[in-house]
Amino acid sequence: MLATAAIWIAARGLLRLPSTRSGASLFPVLVVTMLGLAVWLQTAGQVQRGHLVVAVWLVGGVALYRFLLARFATDAEGGLVENFRWITLGAVGLVLFRPFLQAGVHGTGDALWYGTMLADLMAQLHAEVFPVWTGQSIYQFNGSIFPLRIAPLFHHAGALTDLLTGRALAPFSVLNALLFGTGLLALATTYFSRRALLPQLRGCAWALAILFVGCPGTLGLVFNTDLFMSWTTVPWWPVALYGCIRSFQASGYRPLLILAGALGLLWWGHAPIALWTTVIMSLTQAARLLTKRPASAMIRPHLAAAMLFVFVAGYPIGSVLLYPPEPGVNAAGFQGARADVVVRFLREARPASWLPMSAHGRALGDFQLGYALWSALIVTLVLAARSRSVALTALPLAALGLAALLNLPSGPAEALWRLVPDFVRNTTGNWVMNRLYFVQSGLIVFGLAALLAARAASLPRTAARVALAFALCGVLWTRFEARKFAAGSRAGLRPPTSGVLAVRPENIQITRFAYLVFPKLPAYFTHGVTAPALENRLFNDTGTLLADNFVAAETGGKVLATHEFFHDRADNDFLGLPLALHLVPGRHYLLAFDFHADAAPEGLMQIKGPATLREYAMPEYGEAASFGRGGRHSRYLALPHSADTPHGVDVRYYPAASAALARPFGRVRWIEYIPANLPVDIESWIPYRARVDAPAAGWLETPRMFQTNYEATVDGRPAIVKNPPKVSSVSPFRRDAPRSNSATMPRSG
Amino acid sequence: MKLPAGLAPHLLRSIRLVATQLDTLLLWATLTAADRFMPAPGLPWLAQLGALVICVLLQSPNADPDQQAWRSQARRLPRRLAVVALAAGLWYLVFSLPATAALRVAAVWLPLTTLAPLVAWRVCAVRSTVWVRSQFQEHRIDIPVGEALVFGGILAASDTLAPGL
């Protein structure tokens, strides 16, 4: 890094590059820099694809910067100041989003979920599958469609990030790069759209851009509770608002097409936010149509905009509503939100949502407007009250309406929320603050921008300076508050290796959220790390089990040891094994538990090693046949080992009651098995292809969730795919030959 | 140190205001460093703010009856000691900080403020302002600054997203 910077500085000094118009002299500087880099890398003898990607980014980044400079900041005095606005915006972006410049996992459970979703999409793209409709790889082996098809922008932007980084980054690094890049893009789109609205007050445009992105309700999307899908909408809401304001200022197609395109992208990003923004924008356009004459002249542009909107937003809206995983599933109503519950959550967030943020910015009350934007809202409303124009009052009024929904006392707030249609409320969910403060912050700053733009020509110089000073104070306060998000990230910082470890086969978690929109969880579902290769079973026509990979691994594998759980020291609060299990790379292990009849019923099973941390609540951690104790629960846990070096792992049981430490718990048999010897040997996940060795004709149950239009073949011949009514998740295959054959399940439609 | 004779009162006040600002700035830097490097519990921000307010109040140039000369180091010392004493009292009584905390701060702040007037700050300020302005307006040094940001951002991103690259 230092060598690259040194070469760049040397090249600049050597070739001199003083003005914005010296594009021609930029080229030799870049060439010298790249040659220097090549020599350095060659000398270092460790040229990797990543080095080339960085080199391309350096050239592309500087060239883009130069292009923008020549395009938008040409005049000497104005260009200097404009350049400084960009530099400070870039610096603000680096400071605000610095926590995402890491290779580890940033965030909690949802971040892990989204990271594995992205890993699945990347795996499918690397296997040349595009477009991607469902999960297929081991990262989403259940064939999940949520949120892939409801909020596809996150996944596709992630795929683009993977492409732009030359496929040189691990999935969680791609995720972090995506979140970081989205933040910078949001600052850019916000500033450029506001700059176009306020050409005479660019300082205010700069400050308002920082106020919008730095608002706790906006920044909280990515820092607080990992709302990454919502975060992808942040760059596009300002563009939609720009189109809306421009549509009032000038007639024609362009503003409306910008508005429609941006709204369509919002639907790709996050449906609840898109719903609210679409409703608000539709109301403002309706007001415009009613007040502007002649309305007939505006019909064509509106029709064109509507067509563009349907074209862009059609996929995320239609793919689930029109094509649910199973006929008759109400994909739009998988969550419900009652007015009284919404209001209760809002009440619980107060008064914290009116106070400065908590130390780490991770509380519910930290979804808030912030004092800077509250002040801006008051100024906006005062200015709007003195204006009689619909164009200038529409956005402030919408912001005021959201302020009422979010901040009124429980009684009036509940009455207001009851007026909101069920469809809108249910789509929004119970935690409305997660969606609406961000929407409101955009309405405030763009409402203020529209009001300032209307007065810019007649605004005294002193007033302009006062406005800028006011905005600067807001920026300082926003920065002061935003540092708490970074503090929270530091407090929860994980090692850089956590990102790589999270997508190792032995650590991949599939939680219940990966099954959303499907009508029912499968009985074998375990809420956490499972072994998809072993979740394959054979049944006969009457539903009797013919073969089970878990059982086959136990009976056909080699028993390495049998250990009894025991309590060794008085100060330990767990039951452990006498020895750590020694795992060898590339081998596959199974833990078969035999629980004692008097074993403590409730507790936590933990498997812990240098690259593994798995925890399972007991007596069950999922559905009726999940891993657990008693009933139909599975007593097996698979333990593959994909690391390069041997590791030892400890297996411990933490009973809920300390008295249970003295009672016998059970034993575990440590078994090594060979996957090729199993009755169902998975040869490929993309697409699903297995070699089946069945004792009789029957049905193959895979861990893929059933979906309409799945197709399957057995030995190259079409096979029946069905969804048994009692076990709605099973996707079995008819197998005709009595001995070994292979089954494949490519997707269709 | 004597100032040139015949300086207008507003210029004298201006110069003393700079001296006060400098003292306060140095005190802030000292407090910040103390907070970082002193053993726990450090200095609460309210305690730091209190010391700064005391400094501004006691060093205020408008309170100075002497309109003729830059106050000598000997004449300024009592006020500085008073700042230290009051800060120590405030910290000890209100914030329950050890008395040695103020001594440590004084050990850094007093020499700094004593030495600071030896530097011709105003000349430096004027020269640096002219230099910076020429660099930006004539040589457009803002462009390499922007390029450095682009370079630094990309390199920082590559270094952190792909450690060991």
Q: Are A522 and A729 in contact (CB under 8 A)?
A: yes
As a whole number, the mean pLDDT across chain B is 77
Q: Do B143 and A101 touch (CB under 8 A)?
A: no
**How far is Cα B74 from Cα B82, in angstroms, rounded to an integer?**
13
Q: Name the helix (H) or strand (E) containing A308.
A: helix A299-321
pLDDT tens profile B48-104: 888 888 888 887 655 454 543 455 666 778 888 888 899 888 888 888 888 778 888
Give the up-direction half-sphere exposure of residue A239: CA atoms within 13 A in the CB hemisphere.
20
Backbone phi, then psi, for B4, in 5-degree steps?
A: -60, 145
Residue A145 CB: number of other CB atoms within 10 A?
25
pLDDT score, position A727: 37
Q: Which residue of B has its CA nearest to A105?
A: B161
What is the average per-residue pLDDT within A464-475?
89
The token pair at A560 is 């390495």
pLDDT of residue A1: 53
Residue A517 has pLDDT above 90, yes or no: no
Contacts with B150 from chain A: Cβ below 8 Å: 58, 61-62, 65, 90
Mean pLDDT of A41-56: 72
pLDDT-derived band of residue A13, with 50, 70 and 90 as boundaries?
low
Whether the per-residue pLDDT at A241 is higher than 90: the answer is: yes
Q: CA dihedral defined by A592, A596, A602, A603, rounded to 10 degrees?
A: -50
Half-sphere exposure of A703 (CA within 13 A, CB side): 28
Nearest CA in chain A to B160: A102
Residue with token string 């020694």: A582
Across the A:B interface, residue pairs with CB atoms under 8 Å apart total 96
**Max avg pLDDT among A47-61, A485-499, B5-19, B102-116:** A485-499
Between the alpha carbon of residue A560 and those of residues A515, A584, A668, A672, A673, the distances in Å are: 36, 12, 11, 7, 10
Q: How far is A473 from chain B (nearest CA, A)?
A: 19
Encoded tokens for B157? 């991103």
CB contacts of A496 in chain B (<8 Å) are: 163
Mean pLDDT value of segment A369-378? 95
* CB < 8 Å to A76, chain B: 137
Is residue A316 within 8 A of residue A150, CB to CB? The reply is yes
Candidate from A206-210, A539-543, A680-684 with smallest mean pLDDT: A539-543
Mean pLDDT calculated for residue range A602-624? 89
As for the ipTM of the complex, it is 0.84
- At A145 the three-state DSSP class reads coil
Order across the sheet with A741-745: list the strands. A680-685, A688-692, A741-745, A712-714, A717-719
* Mean residue pLDDT across chain A: 86
Q: Above 80 in pLDDT, residue A511?
A: yes
Say whether pLDDT at A165 is over 80. yes
B156 or B124: which leads in pLDDT: B156
Chain A: give the shortest CA distance to residue B29, in Å: 19
Mean pLDDT lowest among A279-288, A582-591, A695-704:
A695-704
Cβ–Cβ < 8 Å for A538, A697: no
From chain A residues 178-207, the ones with a CB under 8 A of any chain B CB are: 180
3-state secondary structure of A651: strand
In this prediction, residue A488 carries a pLDDT of 95
How is residue A30 written in tokens? 């870049």
The sign of the CA dihedral A351, A353, A359, A364 is positive
Q: Which of A1, A62, A180 sits opposite B159 (nearest CB)?
A: A1
Is the CB of B156 less than 8 angstroms away from the CB of A1?
yes
**Is A5 an 8 Å CB contact of chain B?**
yes
CB < 8 Å from A in window 124-163 of B: 136-137, 139-140, 142-163
Has residue A397 got a pLDDT over 80? yes
Would strands A588-595 and A666-673 be described as parallel, antiparallel, or unpaired?
antiparallel
Residue A726 neighbours by CB under 8 Å, 6+ apart: A543
pLDDT at A742 over 70: no
The yes-or-no verdict on residue A445 having pLDDT over 50 is yes
In the predicted model, what is the mean pLDDT of residues A655-669? 85
Asked if the model's pLDDT at residue B148 lies above 90, the reply is no
Q: How far apart are CA A223 and CA A50, in angstroms?
A: 28
- For A665, other C-beta atoms within 10 Å of its C-beta total 22
Of B142, B160, B165, Cβ closest to residue A87: B142
Length of chain A: 749
Residue A466 has pLDDT above 90, yes or no: no
Are B140 and A101 within 8 A, CB to CB?
Answer: no
**Above pLDDT 70, what percent of chain A?**
88
Confidence of residue B133 (pLDDT cuts 50, 70, 90): confident
Residues of A in contact with B149 (CB under 8 A): 87, 90-91, 94
Q: For residues A370 and A217, is the Cβ–Cβ distance under 8 A?
A: yes
Contact B162 A169 (CB under 8 A): yes
Between A36-45, A129-138, A290-299, the lowest mean confidence (pLDDT) is in A36-45
Q: Give, to the nearest 10 degrees, the angle between helix B9-37 and helix B121-137.
A: 80
Distances from the Cα of A66 to the Cαs of A11, A20, A24, B144, B146, in angstroms?
16, 7, 11, 10, 9
Minimal CA–CA distance to A278: which of A228, A318, A304, A243? A243
- As given in the structure block, the two tokens for residue A423 are 């469809």
Task: Return the residue matching tokens 């302002």.
Answer: B129
Question: A606 in contact with B at a CB cutoff of 8 Å?
Answer: no
| 8 Å CB contact between A700 and A692 | yes
